[in-house]
Structure 1
């Protein structure tokens, strides 16, 4: 664990000891608590990262509707390593200058994220079921074919008004 991670872990433990609570942690409350006590002093890099995170969130949340009534995410990211840093570049689907390869990579990366999420969900469910062997096991199907088809049904044969 890095020194920074150890510092964060330390003030999370201090927060839990001081505030107590029900075992649920709100990262914003912990951050505010740590900041007010001088346990976490943001650097200019931290501030820039926070603003960049807000911009990325705006990009993630920008949706448009095409002529067929399909609501689509307008901007897509590709993550890559540059030295020891992970970077993201965003492109708008409606920007004719944005290279096709960017979207090929973005869609492939998003699919890998979904696969990773499904793997972790399956692991978490398996571990939970193992810890609670006397209860009926929780089942989580990972084939989304019918779910996606059902969500597409309202769009079949419709055009945007």
Structure 2
């Protein structure tokens, strides 16, 4: 059993004991530790640093002359010699080819997330929502335009 399979097993055990209503991961954590079902694993500090640095880089935001908030650091994932690498660069210095690849990879991530969301909604509608299906719109143009309008004419804050 993989580590993630073990975690899912703990969650199922937690649901059995605590009911199937929504719970927080923190509640499950407290329960699992109290029962000795989970303990911290040894961590590779280089991996921890990598995760934390990636998160910090992803969150660096700048504002351009037009008042647009944009991400400063971008990532491209590449395989080199059978090893997957995350290469980071600054949007204001990176070559166009790097930025094209980064934007395409991010877009593909959104597409994969949207596909999975559609599969989840379709499953729910087919199995539990007969006659009153949840509607899912995967065209985000209006949503993006609304956020742009809020930024231009509203309070300037984007959630």
* Equivalent position to 1:93, from 70, 91, 95: 91
**Structure 2 counterpart of 1:124:** 120
TM-score, reference length from structure 2: 0.74
- SS of alignment partner, residue 106 of structure 2: helix
In angstroms, what is the RMSD of aligned CA positions?
A: 2.9
Q: Is the 8 A contact 1:77 1:91 kept in 2?
A: yes
What are the residue-to-residue correspondences of 1:1-161 with 2, within 5 Å? Answer: 3-13=2-12, 20=18, 22-27=20-25, 30=28, 37=36, 39-45=38-44, 47-83=45-81, 85-94=83-92, 96=93, 98-153=94-149, 154-155=151-152
**Structure with more relative contact order (C-alpha pairs < 8 Å, separation 6 or more):** 1
TM-score, reference length from structure 1: 0.73
TM-superposed CA distance for 1:145, in Å, is: 1.8
Q: Is the 8 A contact 1:35 1:41 kept in 2?
A: no
Runs (5+) with no aligned partner, structure 1: 157-161
Runs (5+) with no aligned partner, structure 2: 154-159
TM-superposed CA distance for 1:135, in Å, is: 4.1
TM-superposed CA distance for 1:62, in Å, is: 1.2
TM-superposed CA distance for 1:26, in Å, is: 3.9
CA distance in 1, matches of 2:86, 2:27: 28
TM-superposed CA distance for 1:151, in Å, is: 2.4
Instruction: Give the number of aligned pairs.
Output: 151
